[in-house]
Amino acid sequence: MEADTRFAEFVAERGDALLRYGYMLAGNPHDAADLTQEALLKLRGAWPRLRHKDSPESYARTTMARLHIATWRLRRRELLAWELPELEHHDRLPGGDERRMWQALAGLPRKQRAVLVLRYYEQLDDAEIAAVLGISRGTVRSQAARALDKLRAAIPSEPMTRGNAR
């Protein structure tokens, strides 16, 4: 019974963070909710084995990343198209390019988006990303480079001048 209480407390405390992580991986709220629910179901089944470990959230995040990979491997040729909700809040980019950045991120191939999310949102190194995604470190670096090139092309940066230098 105590394990059930601890699991419920974990979900109440970290459920929203896991949902945001799912959104970063999947690029849309529906798939993010599915990833989160599936990961929490798997975590619940493993909870008795994990309750003494420091971070059940890392188990859930790794599970979400693996579920996401399994999904895009099955749907490689499918192209998802959707619009972002109008009432979202994101950190501001210089020049008001937030919407274009989110659209550009959503337009990346699934593997490239997953690499960027794991690198910049989860702050994993190349070896950790390779282990989570089941790919080589070289593939991680090449996917990240391609993704960043696509983002740079979609959102050109302003040249540094005295007026906008920080």
Q: Where are the domains of the chain?
A: 1-76, 97-157
Among candidates 56, 161, 84, 146, which has minimal Cα distance to 110?
146
Let me know how long the chain is: 166
Dihedrals φ, ψ of 133, to 5°? -85, -10
Cα separation, 48 vs 150, whole angstroms: 44
97-157 domain in CATH 1.10.10.10? Answer: yes
Tokens 């007026």 correspond to: 163
Cα separation, 68 vs 74, whole angstroms: 10
Q: Report whether pLDDT(126) > 90.
A: yes
Among candidates 103, 39, 93, which has minimal Cα distance to 66?
39
Render 26-51 in DSSP notation, one character per residue: HSSHHHHHHHHHHHHHHHHHHHHHHT
Cα separation, 81 vs 119, whole angstroms: 24
Assigned fold of 1-76? Rna Polymerase Sigma Factor; Chain: A (1.10.1740)
Element spanning 150, H or E: helix 137-154
Cα separation, 29 vs 9, whole angstroms: 23
Among candidates 28, 21, 17, which has minimal Cα distance to 105?
28
- pLDDT digits 0-9 by tens, 70-112: 876 766 555 555 665 555 545 555 555 667 777 888 889 999 9
- Are the C-beta atoms of 154 and 147 separated by less than 8 Å? no
- pLDDT digits 0-9 by tens, 10-24: 999 999 999 999 999
- pLDDT digits 0-9 by tens, 25-64: 988 899 999 999 999 999 998 888 876 667 888 889 999 9
